[in-house]
Chain A
Amino acid sequence: KQEVTQIPAALSVPEGENLVLNCSFTDSAIYNLQWFRQDPGKGLTSLLLIQSSQREQTSGRLNASLDKSSGRSTLYIAASQPGDSATYLCAVETSGSRLTFGEGTQLTVNP
């Protein structure tokens, strides 16, 4: 059974810091890995999708890497802003198109 773990569970940083969120998964037989953002009480917004054959994806200040063999991914956020405050969720797609999510990292960026 695929299990996804995210570390840390919560993170508080001052504005302008660069930060790294970590995700690990137990079964390397994945189709892709995705990072989502969730604001309080809201749905999920897709940030980055990395195919299983890829090593990284970049979008603006966000960079996600994937090491499938070791079952790890990182999300790097450069020059953090208060508007980045949200919960960040990592999810892997396995058979049947189902996504298996981690519990999330709650990020607070202080002005």
Chain B
Amino acid sequence: DTGVSQDPRHKITKRGQNVTFRCDPISEHNRLYWYRQTLGQGPEFLTYFQNEAQLEKSRLLSDRFSAERPKGSFSTLEIQRTEQGDSAMYLCASGLAGVETQYFGPGTRLLVL
């Protein structure tokens, strides 16, 4: 399967713990996006990379959130000192600059107790 993959698919953690999610984009895609989706809502943009450069960050991305794409391939999203309000599905998508379609992964569902 050469689609976008995310790991883990599910994560349960206690409030105050740190969590890290990984996204592997489609191999030739130079753009990578992170979105957050809460129950009953549409996804909300968090940030995106072109190659290894983080080009845009949403105001939703508080200081507790950090995303990296060190070699322009896979990306990680870390949440420090998790709060119950962080419980959501975290979606990753990839695409090619100049081509509008974004291809989404299956998501990582986070539950903060």
Interface residues of A (CB under 8 A from B): 4, 31-32, 34, 36, 41-46, 49, 51, 89, 91, 93, 96-104
Rank and list the top 3 A-B pairs by shortest CB-CB distance, nearest first: A101-B42, A44-B104, A43-B104
A93 to B56, CA, bound (A): 14
Q: Are A41 and B43 in contact (CB under 8 A)?
A: no
A69 to B71, CA, bound (A): 41
Q: Are A99 and B102 in contact (CB under 8 A)?
A: yes
Q: Are A103 and B41 in contact (CB under 8 A)?
A: yes
Question: Chain A residues with Cβ under 8 A from B56's Cβ?
Answer: 96-98
Chain A facing B: main interface SS: strand
A52 to B56, CA, bound (A): 22
Question: Chain B residues with Cβ under 8 A from A100's Cβ?
Answer: 45
A97 to B58, CA, bound (A): 12
Check if B40 is an interface residue, CB within 8 A of chain A: yes
Known: A93-B100, A96-B55. A101 touches B44 (CB 8 A): yes
CB nearest neighbor in B for A102: B42
- Give the B interface residue count (CB, 8 A): 26
Sample (19) of A-B pairs whose CB atoms are under 8 Å apart: A4-B42, A31-B100, A36-B104, A43-B91, A43-B105, A43-B106, A44-B93, A91-B42, A96-B48, A97-B31, A97-B33, A97-B56, A98-B33, A98-B48, A99-B43, A100-B45, A101-B43, A103-B41, A104-B42
Known: A41-B109, A43-B106, A96-B56. A49 touches B43 (CB 8 A): no
A104 to B56, CA, bound (A): 25
Q: Are A103 and B101 in contact (CB under 8 A)?
A: no
A98 to B33, CA, bound (A): 8
A40 to B57, CA, bound (A): 28
CB nearest neighbor in A for B41: A103
Within 56-113 of B, Cβ neighbours of A (below 8 Å) are at 56, 58, 91, 93, 95, 100-107, 109
Q: Are B101 and A46 in contact (CB under 8 A)?
A: yes
Q: Are B100 and A32 in contact (CB under 8 A)?
A: yes
